């Protein structure tokens, strides 16, 4: 195997590489790496008990049987680029990979090893093929690496990656397809072996238009106590012509808050754009970025912390060129936290407004619930005291988005929402994920206890178990049904 030591940005190579790889080279240089120096960091242990490791290993063992006589090393990494596992029966390539530290226990993200397959797949959150001379560091130019991110089936975030590495002179046409297939199969197996959660929708890059002349000014039912401070901060920043980022957990209402604050200041149309699927990035950018230059238009760019790295550079360049419209910036960014915002975009932000999670503002639950119920029913909807307590006591891991779904579903069936109109998860405290069988058992117990007037003893008789079993199961599943647990 021959390893070339020329600079990674040589003219011959630069003329043929893709914009993604070129952007990765620039990031590698910013990390302080050189063609001669990699910095793979070793950690003492890896997490071999995770669902990702379990499912990825099962998928790669099956793929290994297909590639039994091929010099292909198959790896699982975590989202930070830590190599968790390496499966390969070819001793020669294994020894070679050990020499460059592409082995379990080493971090191989871009900041550690420069442009490489798994690092690029994690940075851009997209399938990536990096051939010999496309590697930033010379020590990796004897290999071709194909990698694809593994998406968490529940959260939709990046759980890790699958990486396939072979010699640079080997055929690589099918390598990327195999990596994508293995990553997809790992996600599917994680869903099947998980807690029976429904799959999270994958990014599609939707663009939504909201017209100011069709919407009223925000009312008191929307501007709940926990929102008012954030709303006032956003409104003040917009009025001052500052570029604003609204941060908070998924489902807290970041986009809604930004839209409401803009709408109170002036009539304008608002576009909300969401992260695209990896294959749609270029079309996604071309679809909406021309709107930034139009008068009385605001673009809310959601989830910038989930954008591929090369897109972030392109987006930052475009945003840096836009001009203030009538004293207000024409864009707003959202992310989960200020720390998660990419540095290139964070430099463009003048003010960060944080929207607190719903669990930190229980006084907002009832006003929001009444607002969502009225939206669904087109009239006022009541809540029994027990239902109100159940809603206020729940942790709402998916925040306002989850509350809206729960209340709208309940309001579609009644004008007075009681315990039996709420889904089982509302009565369950935080804990480990449940298996499908446990979820069914939990749901049946809640269904019985939530019926008006039902006692624990009556629920036990209906289910054919003892009262002691019901109490034990309630403790096991952290079930709390207001007004029911203490009855005979």
Report the range out of 143-147, 257-261, 478-482 with the highest average pLDDT.
143-147
| The predicted structure's pLDDT at residue 331 | 94
- pLDDT of 7 > 90? The answer is no
- Per residue in 276-320, pLDDT tens? 877 778 888 888 888 887 888 889 999 999 888 888 988 999 999
171 to 1, 146, 149, 168, 175: CA distances (angstroms): 15, 12, 22, 8, 8
* 8 Å CB contact between 452 and 419: yes
What does the alpha-carbon distance between residue 209 and residue 443 come to, in Å, rounded to a whole number? 39
Q: What is the pLDDT of residue 2?
A: 37
Whether 81 shows a pLDDT value over 60: the answer reads yes
Burial status of residue 378 (CB atoms within 10 A of its CB: 0-12, 13-18, 19 or more): exposed
Quote the pLDDT of residue 107.
93
Q: How many CB atoms lie within 10 A of CB 442?
A: 21
pLDDT of 482 reads 73
**pLDDT of residue 3 exceeding 60:** no
Q: What is the pLDDT of residue 8?
A: 54
Q: For strand 73-77 and strand 128-130, is the pairing parallel, antiparallel, or unpaired?
A: unpaired
- Residue 141: both structure tokens together: 């130019």
Structural domains of the chain in order of their starting residue, each with its CATH number: 11-193 (3.30.450.40), 207-356 (3.40.50.300), 360-476 (1.10.8.60)
- Of 102-106, 210-214, 328-332, 377-381, the range with the lowest mean pLDDT is 210-214
Amino acid 455: pLDDT = 83
pLDDT value for 5: 39
Is pLDDT at 42 greater than 70 in this prediction? yes
CA 163 – CA 117 distance, rounded (Å): 7
Task: Specify the pLDDT at position 269.
Answer: 84
* pLDDT tens digits for range 341-376: 999 999 999 999 999 888 888 888 898 899 889 888
Q: Which two tokens stand for residue 424?
A: 């089982």
List for the chain the helix, strand, coil content (%; round to 5): 45, 15, 40
Tokens of 23: 């952007």
Percent of the chain with pLDDT over 70: 87
Longest dimension (CA), the chain: 82
Burial class (CB in 10 A: 0-12, 13-18, 19+), 450: buried
Q: What's the whole-number mean pLDDT along residues 333-347?
A: 92
pTM, rounded to two decimals: 0.65
CB 118 within 8 A of CB 161: yes
Q: What is the pLDDT of residue 446?
A: 79
Residue bearing the bigger pLDDT, 321 or 10: 321
- Amino acid 353: pLDDT: 95
pLDDT at 60: 94
Which band of pLDDT confidence, cut at 50, 70 and 90, is reported for residue 213? very low
How far is Cα 353 from Cα 405, in angstroms, rounded to an integer? 25
Q: What is the mean pLDDT of residues 320-334?
A: 88
Half-sphere exposure of 320 (CA within 13 A, CB side): 11
Confidence (pLDDT) at 481: 78
Indicate if the pLDDT at residue 437 is higher than 50: yes
Which tokens go with 208? 């939504």
Res. 218 pLDDT band, cuts 50 70 90: very low
Give ∠ CA 387-392-393 in degrees, rounded to 5: 95
Position with higher pLDDT, 184 vs 480? 184
Torsion of CA 203, 227, 419, 385, to 10 degrees: 180
Distance in angstroms (rounded) separating the CA atoms of residues 255 and 247: 10
Q: At what angle do helices 456-463 and 467-476 cross, to 10 degrees?
A: 100
Average pLDDT of the residues of the chain: 84
User: CB neighbours of 107 closer than 8 A, spacing ≥ 6?
Assistant: 40, 41, 42, 43, 80, 81, 82, 83
Beta bridge partners of 245: 333, 352
Residues with Cβ < 8 Å from 4, sequence gap 6 or more?
132, 133, 138, 141
Residue 206: what pLDDT? 67
How far is it, in rounded angstroms, from Cα 214 to Cα 67? 59
Asked if residue 98 lies in contact with residue 139, where contact means CB atoms within 8 angstroms, the answer is no
Q: Which residue has the tokens 């709303």?
A: 231
- According to the model, what pLDDT value does residue 146 have? 95
């Amino acid at each position: 195997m021959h390893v070339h030591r020329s600079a990674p940005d040589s003219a011959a190579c630069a003329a043929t590489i893709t914009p993604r790889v070129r952007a990765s080279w620039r990031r590698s240089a910013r990390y302080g790496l050189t063609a001669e120096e990699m910095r793979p960091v070793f950690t003492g242990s890896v997490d071999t008990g995770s669902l990702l490791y379990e499912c990825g290993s099962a998928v790669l063992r099956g793929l290994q049987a297909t590639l039994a006589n091929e010099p292909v090393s198959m790896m699982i990494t975590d989202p930070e680029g830590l190599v968790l596992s390496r499966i390969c029966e070819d001793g020669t390539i294994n020894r070679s990979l050990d020499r460059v530290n592409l082995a379990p226990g080493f971090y191989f993200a871009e900041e550690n090893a420069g442009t490489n397959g798994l690092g690029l797949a994690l940075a851009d959150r997209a399938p990536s093929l990096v051939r010999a001379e496309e590697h930033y560091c010379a020590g990796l130019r004897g290999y071709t690496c194909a990698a694809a991110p593994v998406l968490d089936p529940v959260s939709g975030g990046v759980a890790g990656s699958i990486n396939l590495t072979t010699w640079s002179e080997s055929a690589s046409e099918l390598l990327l397809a195999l990596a994508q297939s293995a990553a997809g199969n790992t996600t599917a197996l994680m869903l099947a072996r998980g807690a029976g959660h429904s799959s999270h929708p994958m990014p599609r890059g939707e663009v939504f238009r909201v017209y100011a002349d069709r919407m009223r000014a925000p009312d008191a039912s929307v501007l709940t106590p926990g929102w008012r401070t954030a709303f006032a901060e956003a409104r003040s920043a917009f009025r001052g012509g500052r570029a604003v980022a609204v941060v908070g957990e998924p489902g807290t209402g970041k986009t809604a808050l930004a839209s409401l604050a803009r709408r109170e200041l002036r009539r304008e149309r608002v576009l909300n754009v969401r992260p695209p699927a990896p294959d749609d990035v270029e079309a996604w950018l071309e679809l909406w970025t021309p709107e930034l230059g139009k008068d009385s238009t605001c673009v809310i760019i959601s989830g910038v912390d989930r954008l591929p790295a090369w897109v972030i550079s392109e987006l930052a360049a475009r945003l840096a060129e836009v001009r203030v419209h009538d004293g207000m910036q024409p864009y707003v960014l959202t992310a989960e936290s200020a720390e998660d915002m990419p540095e290139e975009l964070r430099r463009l932000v003048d003010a960060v407004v944080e929207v607190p999670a719903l669990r930190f503002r229980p006084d907002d639950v009832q006003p929001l619930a009444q607002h969502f119920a009225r939206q669904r029913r087109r009239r006022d909807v009541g809540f029994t005291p027990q239902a109100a307590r159940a809603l206020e006591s729940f942790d709402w891991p998916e925040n306002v988005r989850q509350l809206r779904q729960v209340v709208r579903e309940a309001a579609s069936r009644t004008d007075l929402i009681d315990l039996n109109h709420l889904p089982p998860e509302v009565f369950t405290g935080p804990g480990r994920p449940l298996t499908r069988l446990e979820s069914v058992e939990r749901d049946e117990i809640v269904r019985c206890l939530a019926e008006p007037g039902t006692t624990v003893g009556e629920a036990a008789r209906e289910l054919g178990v003892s009262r002691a079993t019901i109490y034990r199961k309630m403790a096991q599943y952290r079930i709390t049904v207001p007004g029911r647990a203490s009855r005979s």
